[in-house]
Amino acid sequence: MKHFILCALTAVSVLIPAIQVSGQDYIVSSGNLSLAVSAPEGGRLEFLYFGPAAGPEDIDMLRESGALYGKSAYPEFGVDNVTGVKALAVKHRDGNLTTDLVVEDVLQDSKPEYDLLKVRLKDRYYDFHVSVFYKGWKNSDVIETWTEFENLEKKPVTLIRFDSGCLYMRRGDVWVSHFSGNWADEARLTEEPLNPGMLVIKNMDGSRNAHFSHAEIMFSLDGKPQENHGRTIGAALCWSGNYELRVSTHDNVNHLFTAGISPDMSQYTIDSGKRFTTPPLALSYSDEGLGGVSRNFHRWARNGMIHNGWGTRDILLNSWEGVYFNVTEPGMKQMMEDIASMGGELFVMDDGWFGEKYPRNNDRTSLGDWKADPAKLPDGLESLTDAASENGIKFGIWVEPESVSRISELFEKHPDWALQVKNRDLIFGRGGTQLLLDLCNPEVRDYAFNVIDTLLVRYPGIAYIKWDANVSLWNYGSTWLPDDRQSHIYIDYHRGLESLIKRIREAHPDVVIQSCGGGGGRANYGVMPGYDEFWVSDNTDALQRIFIQWGTSYFYPSNAMAQHVSADRNHQTGRVLPLKFRFDVAMTGRLGMEIQPSDMSAADRKFAAEAISGYKEIRSLVQTGNLYRLVSPYEGKGVCSLSYIDDSRDNAVLFAYKLEHFRNQTVPMFRMCGLDPEKVYRFRELTVPDGESPSSLDGKAISGRILMETGIAIPLETEYASRVYVLTAE
Ligand code: GLA
């Protein structure tokens, strides 16, 4: 049996066994880290180790030192009930709620890009199989784990809890860093020590999952989280729907971390002969602190978990905060001219451009009617794509393909396509009319595919799509799913979304697509393989953005983070900030503007053009370089600083901001990180406004050693002062 399966797996690839330590221990490695399990045939699958790269001898010595865990690698309900925390609970065909798994066989597969270990488990009595996968990427320091269930029982079985995977950590002084928030205040960092009990991070929005918390967490194993040192583990669940991350501290020895799709209201039936696969849980480790783990995730993301991960992104103007729903043809054309004149490369027409019978003049109507409003755009979309190319820029457009307004032609034609609950009134979202379409239904997915495909085929000048999602999954009922499968909605919706994105990507590999979830609600690795970037937040206030972007950067690379310069006074907070500060903050990611250029003074437009030109010089360093966060805004020092450094460590860009200003305030020296101590770096200041002199650091040459050991005094003399320096090794 074992031999047969090995052959089946290797028929399509070369078989190079993952390192086998002994007859029963297996190590999966990824770059600089390893994960080891014990999988004796007929015995239990046990988690042994996760940390720095370890070979067979290391595992033997770790065993001698008592450092191996030897705990169930995928604890199932029904056997060992010590902590009560389980990754799996299943109801079998006869109503039995327990499962008792033993190792059936182990399969190893090796490709140039990864090593894969598949441990197949089987219930001792029932014909129910569970495969636990570990995939070690060779070009990234990330190991993914996920699980597949195969029901060979004669009747359906029901999954009650079905985590993607789990991990043990030795108790000590372990801290967690995780994210909470809200719309317009996403990714707010919380750091806390792990105490006895259970920490649960959970999302139940149904549609977008990153507004209130993130499906990501870091563990600092050596006490309070440190940015650039200390052993640190990071975990990201790659799933765009409801999730549950749990850290259980119920014994004196270990913390148990589990992560997966939230099982709440999501019992999932697997028919006889069918399988169910969980989303991957990505794990990383670094002894370079939070920053080391961030850089590992950024590299992994660029290597395939975001679309065109190593590509740089265009500088754009988005129409939303400039005109809101007041889209007009001359207005759009004017904005295109304006952004082109400031050196921008792309114009994105946001909401408000569509609807014929029901023109989209506010958020109450028209979602679903994706045809240009003839009153607003009498010459159609083509005249806009033409105008973009006349201005030498690209054109992008906003759509929300998963939604429908009650007041729309689509809803009149297909009311059954919206998610809706039998015998209950509809619950409406944004505008009091918005509903979510039923992506469980393949016909609806075809419709949504056609929305985007038709736009892109009919108007080849569209180079960029902003794909928004502004409503939660509140109507928990599908007209398409059978009565006894209604509890599949939360999951099948996102499976439908994944397949939709994949199909669009296959048809249109080159179009740039932004994932937007009413601000930062769709920042997650479940969907990012299909998207080039995401909108970080609807809050464009540069001061609050510093905090939002800081948190978001823990797991996401800068070229995926869309960051826009907006109006003064800010529309979300009412704050007034210098244009230089607004640019210097937006420039740490994918730079854009979201403003009415015709409201800007000539001096501001000139500054914007210079800042854009400066950004072009550092774009590839910012967007694809290695992030070193230096001074956290959360530390309350009144300043913040971060930097990007290229692989050669010859080029760096340093950003510093003053967040609050007091007389005789103590401002720390800024110590850099990640430079070459032996090199000497020449400073050049960017974004210096006309009439102001560069700071005293401009033109200075300072060694990497001094920059990292002693640090530099960055002149930040006024409220909301900011500095951007390019550092070049001599
Ligand atoms: C959401 C997005 C915004 C904008 C509006 C348009 O809120 O996050 O950026 O596109 O929708 O209605």
What pLDDT is recorded for position 80? 72
Over residues 96-113, the mean pLDDT reads 95
Quick check: 83 pLDDT over 90? no
- 330-383 pLDDT per residue, tens: 999 999 999 999 999 999 999 999 999 999 999 999 999 999 999 999 999 999
What pLDDT is recorded for position 478? 98
Ligand 1 mean position, distance from CA 209 (Å) = 16
Ligand 1 mean position, distance from CA 538 (Å) = 7
Quick check: 12 pLDDT over 80? no
- 600-611 pLDDT per residue, tens: 999 999 999 999
What pLDDT is recorded for position 246? 98
What pLDDT is recorded for position 566? 98
Ligand 1 mean position, distance from CA 598 (Å) = 21
Ligand 1 mean position, distance from CA 470 (Å) = 7
- Pocket probe mutation, ligand 1, options 321, 350, 515, max atoms within 8 Å of Cβ: 350
Sheet holding 722-729, edge to edge: 626-631, 639-645, 651-658, 722-729, 680-686, 701-703
What pLDDT is recorded for position 299? 98
- Distinct helix (H) and strand (E) counts, the chain: 13, 37
Q: Give the containing element (helix H, strand E) for 37.
A: strand 33-38
Instruction: Quote the CA–CA distance of 137 and 144 in Å, as a whole number.
Output: 8
What pLDDT is recorded for position 84? 78
Q: Do residues 488 and 440 touch, judged by C-beta distance below 8 A?
A: yes
Ligand 1 mean position, distance from CA 90 (Å) = 41
CATH tag, 628-729 = 2.60.40.1180
Q: Do residues 219 and 174 touch, judged by C-beta distance below 8 A?
A: yes
Higher pLDDT, 610 or 15: 610
The amino acid that residue 401 corresponds to is P
- 242-275 pLDDT per residue, tens: 999 999 999 899 999 999 999 999 999 999 999 9
CATH tag, 5-269 = 2.70.98.60
Residue (of 380, 289, 317, 352) closest to 595 by Cα position: 317
Residue found under tokens 């994949």? 502
The region of weakest confidence among 1-10, 60-69, 231-240, 578-587 is: 1-10
Cβ–Cβ contacts within 10 Å for residue 66, how many? Answer: 7
User: What is the position in ligand 1's atom list of the atom closest to the CA of 398?
Assistant: 10
- Pocket probe mutation, ligand 1, options 398, 467, 540, 548, max atoms within 8 Å of Cβ: 398
Where residue 621 falls among pLDDT bands split at 50, 70, 90? very high
- 684-705 pLDDT per residue, tens: 999 999 999 999 999 999 999 9
Write out the E strands in 312-388: 316-318, 346-349
What pLDDT is recorded for position 402? 98
The amino acid that residue 400 corresponds to is E
Q: Do residues 307 and 178 touch, judged by C-beta distance below 8 A?
A: no
What lines the ligand 1 site, CB under 6 Å? 320, 350-351, 398, 468, 470, 516, 518-519, 535, 538
Residue (of 641, 639, 635) closest to 658 by Cα position: 639
Respond yes or no on whether the N-terminal peptide bond of residue 299 is cis (omega within 30° of 0).
no
| Closest CA to ligand 1's atom 11 | 518
Q: Do residues 604 and 578 touch, judged by C-beta distance below 8 A?
A: no
Over residues 226-247, the mean pLDDT reads 98
Task: Give the Å distances, CA to CA, from 213 to 188, 202, 533.
Answer: 8, 7, 19
Residue found under tokens 């020092």? 637
Over residues 552-580, the mean pLDDT reads 98
Ligand 1 mean position, distance from CA 398 (Å) = 9
| Closest CA to ligand 1's atom 6 | 351
Over residues 46-61, the mean pLDDT reads 96
- 146-190 pLDDT per residue, tens: 999 999 999 999 999 999 999 999 999 999 999 999 999 999 999
Where do you find CATH 2.60.40.1180 in the chain?
628-729
Residue (of 341, 353, 450, 449) closest to 397 by Cα position: 353
Quick check: 7 pLDDT over 80? no
What is the b/e burial string over 121-146, where b = at least 16 CB atoms within 10 angstroms of the residue's CB? bbbeebebbbbbbbbbbeebbbbbbb
| Closest CA to ligand 1's atom 1 | 518
Where do you find CATH 2.70.98.60 in the chain?
5-269
Rounded mean pLDDT of the chain? 95
Quick check: 20 pLDDT over 90? no
Ligand 1 mean position, distance from CA 537 (Å) = 10
- Pocket probe mutation, ligand 1, options 514, 538, 571, 595, max atoms within 8 Å of Cβ: 538
What pLDDT is recorded for position 22? 65
- Pocket probe mutation, ligand 1, options 364, 515, 516, max atoms within 8 Å of Cβ: 516
**pTM as predicted:** 0.97
Dig out the tokens for 269 from the structure. Answer: 């039936």
User: What is the position in ligand 1's atom list of the atom closest to the CA of 518?
Assistant: 8
Ligand 1 mean position, distance from CA 611 (Å) = 25
Quick one: CA torsion of 99, 144, 307, 246, rounded to 10 degrees?
60
| Closest CA to ligand 1's atom 4 | 320
User: What is the position in ligand 1's atom list of the atom closest to the CA of 594?
Assistant: 9
